[in-house]
Structure 1
């Protein structure tokens, strides 16, 4: 099957106007990758994706409007086709063997947290804060699963505008960064009051902190063992991204079809994400190859994030106001308190 015919990943034929915008997005992604590699930036848990979208927003509101006529095709290609390709290759970061290392309890904890946080986000966002459904869903996906990557993966399913995606990314960055510092500060109190182990702390952090980079920092602040468990638990949440997108697509397909026959919109990039995860679980490729693919995937996703930033207008973010932040704050509080209760209950029942 050619790349042109692959559902959800179709690559349009060559267009002369694509290269300027694509090169601009790649350049911003490269700067973002460099910034994320600096020890001082790593200490804040800021990933290359976060740095890339911030750089993109700055350029998008200064330089990009002057060259949009020439650069727009490449930028749009990056934030659509490259995004889907990046989500597919994200499957090389996880294996089904990860589930075994944290047991059934770890999988159940993640599944409950993903479902409860997302449903709470949609209810609070649309009913309490009167936000539109797309923004509520994007913030919910980012808080429930894996931060910016989940927001971007959900965007093609809900068909949200660029500024809504950027608002959602901003909220998960803010509260994920806060959690990265708060969790290690809470650890002594959790030990004193509940007697939790480093393993239990790792599961708790991995199941409730937003971004992978933030999970690593919060885990290593306690110990390498805690960090290892936290990352594995986080990777299981990442694996839940694909079934989440399939269920969401089926639900939205039925809703958008009205009273007629429900229309199932299959996000093929999510199906391919599962296929890649299954392939990666077989360990057929050398570890060095997988590491190279993961690095390439980071570049692709950072490029997509930079392109998204280029298409984001600061005025649209300002217009969103405080409500998205308030929604994300409520979800953050639920992750800390409700997520902790879920961890304790499931661990007590399943061990």
Structure 2
């Protein structure tokens, strides 16, 4: 008992030092996130994009000084917490209400887009890490998926650069899609439900899905949002599959120093637990809304920290093949979902 009390006191005594170590970096990341949110609400720019660009502008803070530890903590731990809290938005009832054909189409789109990314990456001479990162982010939920997948990928010297490029790429493409895709749905004469399925099944980020959907009609907006949440639901199983595959591969990969990733990342476990609790109706609406808002803020703060960890110069070193790959993945999932709607769903 005496030993445990001594250990507890020692841990509590070290808490202020830990907080003071990560505090400055966490605070700076939060301030940048608040500024990004302000710009988003007043000028219509995507908050994720603003946080990323503002973070890159303050890259010098991540190189040396009091903020380094806090920025590293925020870009890793706060990020994973934000992804885990996304689970509170998912429920089995939500998915069942969409019907097996639609669910099958969306799941097939996610899987085939990732496989397409792997094939395209091989043809363009890019590595499998980059393929999983871009393919997963395009297939599932944009920047949030990119950060979740990056958390389980083995690290190398290009990891931070590739993550920044992917977040920047999917955010820009998602913004373009938010403007262009509603025009496409009207040109093709899709009804409100079909248009919602197309927008929710193809646009990368949730905010842009909502913006595009409700710009068409109320029914299109609601359908697009629900369809998008199916893709968000795929985040946990996809990350888990990646983690299991990488765990087997990483043991023989000398670049990773023999360090094996965990069997199931803790943030994926929390995502599944929250989704399960919500599926049984045990999460009140006010709590679910609060957790959703907290998740959004955690992801926004963490992407600001990720931006600070990467210099603008390194982004331009990613190469033209990377741009071709992420655009091709975006066009692939759009074409696949559109074909599915017109030939199997509609």
Same fold (TM over 0.5): yes
| 1:263–1:294 Cα change, 3 Å | closer
Q: Which of residues 208, 211, 217 in structure 2 aligns to 1:214?
A: 208
Give the match for residue 342 of structure 2. 344
Pairwise mapping of residues 1-351 of structure 1 onto structure 2 (< 5 A)?
14-15=17-18, 16-38=20-42, 40-41=43-44, 46=46, 48-60=47-59, 63-64=60-61, 68-125=64-121, 127-160=122-155, 161-191=159-189, 196-258=190-252, 265-347=263-345
Write the distance in 1 (CA, Å) between the matches of 2:340 and 2:316: 35
Structure 1 unmatched ranges of 5 or more: 1-11
Structure 2 CA distance for partners of 1:208 and 1:37, relative to 1, 3 Å: same
Q: Contact 1:138/1:154 (CA < 8 Å) preserved in 2?
A: yes
CA deviations over 1:27-49 (Å, ceiling 9, x no partner)? 111112222222x31xx5x1x33
Residues in 2 aligned to 1:31 and 1:234: alpha-carbon distance in whole angstroms:
27
Q: Any conservation in 2 of the 1:92–1:277 contact (CA below 8 Å)?
A: yes
Partners of 2:135 and 2:52 in 1: how far apart? 19
1:264 positional shift: 6.6
Deviation at 1:177, TM superposition (A): 1.4
CA gap 1:130/1:305 in 2 versus in 1, 3 angstroms = same
The CA deviation at 1:90 is 1.1
Query: Residues of 2 paired with 1:264 and 1:65: CA distance?
Result: 27
Once superposed, what is the RMSD of the aligned Cα atoms? Answer: 2.1
Q: Secondary structure at the match of 2:204?
A: coil
Q: Is 2:29–2:302's contact at 8 Å kept on the other side of the alignment?
A: yes
Q: CA deviation at 1:162?
A: 1.5
Evaluate the alpha carbon distance shift between residue 289 and residue 165 of structure 1 in structure 2; reply closer, same or farther with a 3 A threshold: same
Aligned counterparts of 2:81 and 2:302: Cα–Cα separation in 1? 10
Q: List alignment gaps of at least 5 residues for structure 2.
A: 1-13
> How many correspondences in the alignment?
323
**For residues 190 and 154 of structure 1, what CA distance do their matches in structure 2 show?**
34
Look up the match of 1:4: none
Deviation, 1:286, is: 2.8
Q: CA deviation at 1:268?
A: 2.2
Q: TM-score, normalised by structure 1?
A: 0.86
Give 1:339 deviation, angstroms.
Answer: 2.3
